[in-house]
Structure 1
Amino acid sequence: MGSDAELQREFFEFIQQSMDCLPKMSATSSRLLTGNDTQLQALEDELQAWYETAAGINQTATKSALVLNSGYHANIGILPALTALPVKTVILADKLVHASMIDGIKLSESKRCLYRRYRHNDYAHLATMLMQVEEDVERIIIVTESIFSMDGDRADLPALVKLKAIDSRIELYVDEAHAVGVLGAQGLGLAEETNTLADIDYLVGTFGKAFASVGAYILCDKIVKSWLINQMRPLIFSTALPPINHAWTRFILAKMPQLQTRRQHLAQISLQLSQAISPEYRVASAAKDPIYESPIVPYILGDNARTMTKAKQLQDAGFYALPIRPPTVPTNTSRIRLVLNAAITHAECERLIMQLSI
């Protein structure tokens, strides 16, 4: 989407036709001052309607969207704000959640809030940890990504929803940054695809990936939204994004439900690539069960020097393939992080596969 020249021309034409109500170029201050522009408010309303339509929730439901400046701002701000309540809380986070989520969790740590990590996608381990939570704990927040940024594998959202049903204290916090726009019939992500939208308490998404824009959002209870507006420091003390950015995001959002053919093609080439990679170079879970997980396909080489050499070879062949090394990923798991897009053809994918085999 970010390199689609036709789409960009269409947006500029749309802006030119709206000269009488052009979006402002700057918010000039925080949302709590002059930054709460009409474009921003319209974007939140449209996000809420998008999700409620897919989830089958009545328009009078309590779910509401709050737009933020970035995924990092979202994850370092939401959890500390939630845990500022005088409620004894335990956060249980997947071992491989994004750095921004880890930072948010650490900022939440206090006498009232403790955090623990469960093994990656190991829900038996998580279930054991849930049983060990002290009786005086009033709230348990399970934190996960839906598509994990480095391994490209999926969380089992239905399994997490089942665990949530066991204890009324449990809430689910799911970051859909790498799934929004890519998965689901309407492009709403893994929660839409697995029919778990209505079961997630705090659903975070971003505009910096499939949306080819900037910013992030959370879908949550209206009361929670009000609390975040008044407690979330990255929102309170940051200048809001320019209204022109929100206009672009709204433009893309309106097109998302129409892009199912592109999403299907992306799934096909992602599976084509994943199945062609030898198990020794793949994430263990993907090697056992070669199904479509996401457009993120890691090619794990382990050694840093070997990874750098392979990245250079792929770049020389015309593929923008970047090496990922520790501390971004665990020691001895250096990799080429292959992220596909819907503009890539099957022939180009085959050429990439050939280069990987050299």
Structure 2
Amino acid sequence: MTLKDELEQALQTLKKNEQYRQIPTLAHDGRYVVYQGKRLLNIASNDYLGLGSDSSLQRAFFEQMDQLADTHYPKMSATSSRLLTGDDTQLQALEFEMQAWYQTAVCQEDVSNSPSSPSNLSRPKSVLVFNSGYHANIGILPALTALPIKTLVLADKLVHASIIDGLRLSQNKTVGYRRYRHNDYAHLALLIEQADDDIRRIIIVTESVFSMDGDRADLQQLVQIKAQDARIELYVDEAHAIGVLGVTGLGLAEETQTLGQIDYLVGTFGKAFASVGAYIMCDEIIKRWLVNHMRSLIFSTALPPINHAWTRFVLAKMPSLTPARTHLALLSTELSEAIALKYSTSAVSSAYTSPIVPYILGDNARTLTKAQQLQAVGFYALPIRPPTVPANSARIRLVMNAKLTYDDCERLIQQL
């Protein structure tokens, strides 16, 4: 049997197990996608605020760009790494504006938490922008653990695949990692208690909003755990919370007033921001360390300056998008309550968690069939199967966005 024969056999096994993936051929039309000749309402995208489908917003951006002199018009390619000639004024301005956004929010947090104790004010953070969330998560942890000191990384069981890859790349003679049960902070505390005495640093890694389940980490409890051991640092990925949660959209850390206690605050621009790229908010010395040790930054061509200009354009509007965030929360709560009432035997909570609402069916074939049924009645819904999610937890990952209406939500609920 040739190598190609073995590959084909393995692919056939995936098909047999209903785990075979294909890239869907799509066209986009505002809130809709055109798939297999049908115009379907998009309930699968991470475009939480609907900015990616807002053509008027995009036209306004290009009109603003057209006001610039040719010498200042953002280039279409960076053509090299930031450490060579890939840096540009748009990227520098984006990092500065993200830093100012953080600082404004954390100052408000400090005033709320310690109005009479200026000595407790949080230190300012620096911002470093990356090409994607995957670039960020596979690069930050290996760079942080490059210093030869004994380190233990403790990660939530359900962190994103990019974080898991970063953990694997971090392992060496002085670094180990363990996984604590999902959102089980008693288990996390036990792992900390069991840590060897010669471990000098413990990095706790979590998402703030989990990508497949849509539930939240308890950032306030994690901050309390951190306060009990000087070795602990917190790494929080806000990919699915940035733009969506918080008074100004800065994420769950802003909403829970824990910004100042998180050491490594990571997020992306490819979801609610409807752009591309990612960032870390961290101490300035950490930024300098990453510039010298983060391989996915050093050896990647930077993003095009025009992308950074668009991200800045969206960033300027983000604090004013509270009505969109409120509408999104109401839609998401209505959908999650409807699913819970239909399938849950426990009390239904009306607390808003996120726009991600999992419709868990368990069986792969059943999940595929349900996705096809939803597509047949006008909804672009996709099945999520193992290994993306744990075995026997295949699901339709339903995602609300701020451009959907209450009628859209009601029609969807009727089809579940």
The 3 A distance-change label for structure 1 pair 306 and 54 is same
After superposition, residues 188-207 of structure 1 pair within 5 angstroms as 188-207=250-269
Is the aligned partner of 1:7 residue 2:57?
yes
Q: Which amino acid aligns with 1:105?
A: L
Per the normalisation by structure 2, the TM-score is 0.83
Q: Which amino acid aligns with 2:153?
A: I
1:336 to 357, 376, 396: 396
2:413 corresponds in structure 1 to 353
**CA distance, structure 1, for counterparts of residue 53 and residue 69 of structure 2:** 25
**CA distance, structure 2, for counterparts of residue 297 and residue 249 of structure 1:** 27
- What displacement does 1:114 show? 0.4
2:201 corresponds in structure 1 to 139
2:352 corresponds in structure 1 to 292
Matched residue count: 354
- What displacement does 1:337 show? 0.1
1:33 corresponds in structure 2 to 84
**CA distance, structure 2, for counterparts of residue 138 and residue 60 of structure 1:** 23
- What displacement does 1:50 show? 0.3
Q: Which amino acid aligns with 1:266?
A: L
Find the residue that maps to 1:2 and give its secondary structure: helix
Q: Which runs of 4+ in 1 moved over 2 A?
A: 57-62, 278-282, 286-290
Contact 1:281 1:300 in 2 (8 A): no
1:70 to 121, 124, 132: 132
Is the aligned partner of 1:47 residue 2:98?
yes
Identify the range of structure 1 (273-282 vs 62-71) with the bigger mean alpha-carbon deviation.
273-282
Structure with the larger RCO, 1 or 2 (CA within 8 Å, 6+ apart): 2
Contact 1:25 1:243 in 2 (8 A): yes
Is the aligned partner of 1:250 residue 2:250?
no
Find the residue that maps to 1:160 and give its secondary structure: helix
Structure 1 residues not aligned, in runs of 5+? none
Contact 2:337 2:348 in 1 (8 A): no
- What displacement does 1:61 show? 4.0
What percentage of aligned pairs have identical amino acids? Answer: 71
RMSD: 1.6
**CA distance, structure 1, for counterparts of residue 408 and residue 305 of structure 2:** 37
Is the aligned partner of 1:19 residue 2:69?
yes
Find the residue that maps to 1:27 and give its secondary structure: coil
CA offsets per residue over residues 139-158 of structure 1, 9 Å max, x none? 00000000000000000000
- What displacement does 1:289 show? 3.5
CA offsets per residue over residues 217-245 of structure 1, 9 Å max, x none? 00000000000001000000000000000
Q: Which amino acid aligns with 1:167?
A: D
- What displacement does 1:316 show? 1.8
1:327 corresponds in structure 2 to 387
CA offsets per residue over residues 187-241 of structure 1, 9 Å max, x none? 0000000000000000000000000000000000000000000100000000000
CA offsets per residue over residues 295-344 of structure 1, 9 Å max, x none? 00000000111101110111122211110001100111000000110001
2:300 corresponds in structure 1 to 238
The 3 A distance-change label for structure 1 pair 153 and 260 is same
**CA distance, structure 2, for counterparts of residue 110 and residue 287 of structure 1:** 46
1:213 to 253, 264, 275: 275
Q: From the CA coordinates, give the structure whose radius of gyration is larger.
A: 2
**CA distance, structure 1, for counterparts of residue 287 and residue 279 of structure 2:** 11
Structure 2 residues not aligned, in runs of 5+? 1-50, 111-117
Q: Which amino acid aligns with 1:15?
A: M
